[in-house]
Amino acid sequence: MTDSLSHLYFSSFQAARRLARAPAREPEARLHGHGFQLALSLPSPLVPYDVEQADEKTTLSPIHPSAERWHTQIAEWDHQSLNDFVAHPSDLRILQTFVKTLDVSGHEMALSSMPDRGVRKDEQGNYFAWRSYRFESAHQLPNVPPGHKCGRLHGHGFQAVIHIPVTHAEQEWNSDYHQLDLAWAPLYAQLHHHYLNDIPGLPNPTSEWLAVWIWDQLKEVLPALSWITVFETASCGGHYDGMKHRIWKDFSIDSATEEAGMTFGHTWTLRLNLQGQLHPTFGWAMDFADVKREFEPLFRSLDHQPLKEVVGLVSPDSAGLARWIRHHAHLVLPQLGRVDVLDGCGSGASLDWGAGGIQVLAP
């Protein structure tokens, strides 16, 4: 797989709506409001990455014209009634309207109407609905090396995110979320406030095996199930699509940058996405602690630093950081297949060279 660079844009707006086709018992049938979140991924051409020329710093990446248009569109809808713009404004129909208006049918885009639900479109034009569910559970990993902290009994506030294809393109209310709620309820009863190791099929409940277990339980009632995401903590977890595993680990750096002669800074979020086969004993693709340890020297090179002084960093922006990490991390983290970088101000970049399949706009 060749390197693929995308620029990411995030924005939000407040709006009211009423879904008249929803069953009368559903709150969505009444006038109500949301804080909507939107994400857009736009591909960017890759120029050769020449570390030897890194002292010739480039300017920050310009805003894509489609991103400019979508900010205008959001401003028109902010604090309005969506029924004035979209007939039967379900999450799907709102997203479809943005896609058509902005002419971004070949790009990824996502919309969330609440923090725990949303829809997204991939580059091929497929739409997916997702719901996020939290459960509080205890577990321990019995096969880890002696002294590993995860071998001790402990607990997490887990989060499971379930993705399915949208049922039909003319959906007039958010029925997919209700379908997911019904499918999840029996699993929640087994997982919440329980000891995961006691559940049949979970003797070694790593994030990866927990994702497999959830997949196996849901596949019978959701035959079109697309993938499962399991957050072990807010900064790490795993994806499973029925065949492949991918894990991620987040890092936060507080660094200074420059633009148009002004010096300022960001709290950047770096997400490392790694793929691999599950270890037959440990049950993980890679230990999150090992990811942290191997990345630590590179992290120290970026954190609490003026980015213009980082050796080899061609441009002090999200895309530049992603490419710098790609160039320097492949030797210590060969499983690394994608780097996502967010600047905290509604934009970022994603550099993918081996992860594929499960994209950045999914939670």
- Catalytic residue IDs: 150, 193, 232
Alpha helices for the chain (secondary structure H): 65-77, 91-102, 175-191, 207-219, 288-302, 318-329
Whether the CB-CB separation of 97 and 104 falls below 8 Å is answered with: no
Tokens 């029996």 map to which residue?
186
The Cα 121–Cα 190 span in angstroms is 32
Q: Is 61 exposed, middle or buried (0-12, 13-18, 19+ CB in 10 A)?
A: middle
Dihedral, 295, 298, 300, 305 alpha carbons, nearest 10: -140
Tokens 């096969």 map to which residue?
143
DSSP reduced 3-state for 28: helix
Whether the CB-CB separation of 7 and 325 falls below 8 Å is answered with: no
Q: Per-residue b/e over 210-249, b at no fewer than 16 CB within 10 Å?
A: bbbbbbebbeeebeebbbbbbbbeeebbbbbbeebbbbbb
**What CA–CA distances, in Å, run from 232 to 74, 157, 193, 276?**
34, 7, 15, 18
The Cα 231–Cα 271 span in angstroms is 13
CB atoms under 10 Å from CB of 32, counted, come to 11
Whether the CB-CB separation of 173 and 28 falls below 8 Å is answered with: yes
Q: What does the chain come to in residues? A: 363
